[in-house]
Amino acid sequence: MAEYKNFTVETDPDGIALVTWDIPDRSMNVFTEEVLDELNTIIDQVASDAAIRGAVITSGKESFSGGADLTMLQKMLGLFYKEKARDPEKAIKLLFDNAGRMSQLFRKLETSGKPWVSAINGICMGGAFEMSLACHGRVAAEGDNVKMALPEVKVGIFPGAGGTQRVPRLANPQDALQMLTSGQNLSPQRAKAMGLIHAVADPAKLIEAAKAMIAAGLKPVQPWDEKGFKLPGGPVYSAAGANLWPPAIAILRRETYGNYPAAAAILKCVYEGLLVPFDTGLRIEQRYFTEIMRSREAAAMIRSLFVSLQELNKGARRPEGVAPTKFRKIGVIGAGFMGAGIAYVTARTGIPVVLIDRDMPAAEKGKVHSADLMDGLVKKGRAKPEEKEKLLSLITPSDDYAALDGCDLVIEAVFEDSEVKKTATGKAEAVLKSSAIFASNTSTIPITSLARNSARPKNFVGIHFFSPVDKMMLVEIILGKKTGDKTLAMAIDYVRAIRKTPIVVNDTRGFYVNRCVLRYMSEAFKMLIEGVPAPMIENAARAAGMPVGPLALADETAIDLAQKIMKQTIRDLGEKAVDPEQMKLIDTMVDKHGRFGRKNGKGFYDYPEKPARKHLWPGLKDLYKQQNPDKIDYEELKQRFLVVIALEAARVMEEGIVTDPREADVGSILAFGFAPYTGGTLSYIDGVGAKEFVKLAKALQKKYGAEFKAPRLLHDMAEKGETFYQRFNPYPKDEARKAA
């Protein structure tokens, strides 16, 4: 038997080979070029050895595999663009051939003449699930941790190793399209019900069950390779097909607004592929995959939503030379909605939490929030009752600051009032050990000013969560002028410990995310004042790629809060800092009509009791003279939203508030859903090109005002033909890695 680095192959007395995938020095198996080479050799070995009846492939790790290493696809694109400069036709042929490598390997496996069974444990994603679908038998371990999916569409590509051809030949086409275009996770039970796996087994008997399939005479032939094979949902050209495809296209358009080429390519692959023999279907898939790989959306989404996200999650911005922190106890001051949410996500990861408030009833109420969240998970079958009890045992409510003694980190989440925060800081520091870190969860007050209340400003930092804390994956870490490297390292360690993504932001009013969000909502207010009908405003924003319309977002964050922020800004920066017409609009909504937002059931939207759905408040059209919708440039409305946010992100980079383009991009998508297909705020500008973007901004500035004035940085980049990833290269020590 040959020796392999990433696999072991052991044949039992019954002639069944157990192929165990276990990449050294990685927590998760992924497909790399080396793994593909070794798997190719193993397939040949199994096929040529007369003593081997068949093979079971499984994982030696807790999970099966995360799929393909997308940095491999980035390398593939790099080779394409390098060759394109010399020979465009040859470059496309090279990309086409590389794009088909995994698909051809899996086809070789399923036509090798020997039966293969995939024994799936833990997570099985992307290319790993496509490989499993190419196996003649599939068995998954039972358990909540076992998930199967083809999630490629979420990073701008699609399952290009046979997934678009095998899934609709195993499952009914409606379920297949839903799975492929959404990237949804499947439980073992759901996968079996769809026909994607054959059996669910006790984890301890997974290999035994897989081997039993081969021992029972599993045929080494796939259904679609047998004569007389019929599609599960019937032919494309049939009554069933006529009821499926027109609505499917309409639904895709409704959900994506045409912004995601990969999702449209999936429909084309499935539709065209089901009309032809299987091998021709694979070639069709390969052709579309090559096309999508060359799209701006794929390059941007792979970079931001996979590569950059992984790097930030691994602590890319963590200072070097600081030992990692293992947290033994965390304190949270303020048991309101935010503080209670912070306590919950901390305890969820097994870290003990002390939850402080002004009195015991208030502190206890904060703990009840965690109980309610866990009850919801238990009801949905995503948590067990004993997990709820364990989590609640880790949260200690108290009205005594002395309970913070022994905390490694204390997070203050009290009202947005400097004096209240000052009091909390002093009381906490009086009992904290000298090495402990104090963090403020403020969303608007500069950290440097709050740190003046601290006796040890080096240990003071901002840790800004977003609401609701349990669902929002981004956390802004804000540095005061005196925040030390050790404090920053500990803050990043904490955010990683609670399984969220940290970005590092230098101190300024509104930090990064809120500055961008306020621009988004402000532009919507301007449109209302101009007389643009509210439905057009909301629809244009969603069509531009935003997940929530700006008026709906204003309701969620509270209109009366927007009023308070505006008034505070005027007090701090003067009357000119806020558009008086927008101030008048917000005052009218709050003071005249009592419309505070979702929290009191009426804002820009009305919120009737369920099952009725929210709807825009009819009174909005009476506030300003309405323009004729037919005379409004809808595409320009979409541009205004994206450009005004991206310009603010560029200003943040120019001011040195954010210094790493990965953080600006990832932060904009995770925090407020900035059009994910663009790759984020800065990738959007890079995709348009600095020169063209400045030209677009100038045209909008001429029509709509100073918020569209491009900063000097963008003019300079336009003159030099630079991108943000070149100007602010996040890989300065890696000469071999070219940021494009």
Reported as a pLDDT band with limits 50, 70 and 90, residue 736 is very low
Top-confidence residue, 605 or 80: 605
Select from 332, 330, 396, 412 the least CA-distant residue to 364.
396
Domain spans in the chain, listed from the N-terminal domain onward: 7-218+231-294, 330-510, 514-727
Domain 330-510, architecture per CATH: 3-Layer(aba) Sandwich (3.40)
Q: What is the Cα–Cα distance from 331 to 544, expressed in whole angstroms?
A: 41
What is the value of pTM for the model shown?
0.92
For the question of residue 514 being annotated catalytic, the response is yes
Please name the residues in contact with 75: beta carbons below 8 A apart, sequence gap of 6 or more: none
The catalytic position among 130, 297, 412, 476 is 476
Q: Which segment of 237-241, 389-393, 629-633 scores lowest on mean pLDDT?
A: 237-241
Is 172:143 a contact under the CB 8 Å cutoff?
Answer: no
Residue of 132, 304, 440, 443 marked catalytic? 443
Q: Which one from 65, 304, 514, 683 is the annotated catalytic residue?
A: 514
* Contact status, residue 605 vs residue 551, Cβ threshold 8 Å: yes
Could you report the per-residue pLDDT of 250-263, keeping only the tens digit for each? Answer: 999 999 999 999 99
- The yes or no reply on domain 514-727 and CATH 2.60.40.420 is no
Does the pLDDT at position 735 exceed 60? no
Q: How far apart are CA 165 and CA 103, in angstroms?
A: 11
pLDDT confidence band for 1 (50 / 70 / 90): low
Contact 438, 451 (CB under 8 A): no
**Which of 480, 481, 479, 558 has the alpha carbon at shortest distance from 517?**
558
SS3 of 615, please?
A: strand
- Annotated catalytic residue 6: no
Backbone conformation region of residue 353, classed left if phi is above 0, alpha if psi is from -120 to 50, else beta: beta
Question: Which of the following is catalytic: 136, 198, 369, 464?
Answer: 464
> Does 668 qualify as catalytic in the annotation?
no
The pLDDT score that the predictor gives to residue 500 is: 97
- Residues 230 and 227: their CA atoms lie apart, in Å, by 9
Q: How confident is the model at residue 467 (pLDDT cuts 50, 70, 90)?
A: confident
Question: Hey, what CATH class is 7-218+231-294 in?
Answer: alpha beta
* 600 is known as an active-site residue: no
Taking only the tens place, the pLDDT of each residue in 390-405 is 999 999 999 999 999 9
Share of the chain above pLDDT 70, in %: 99
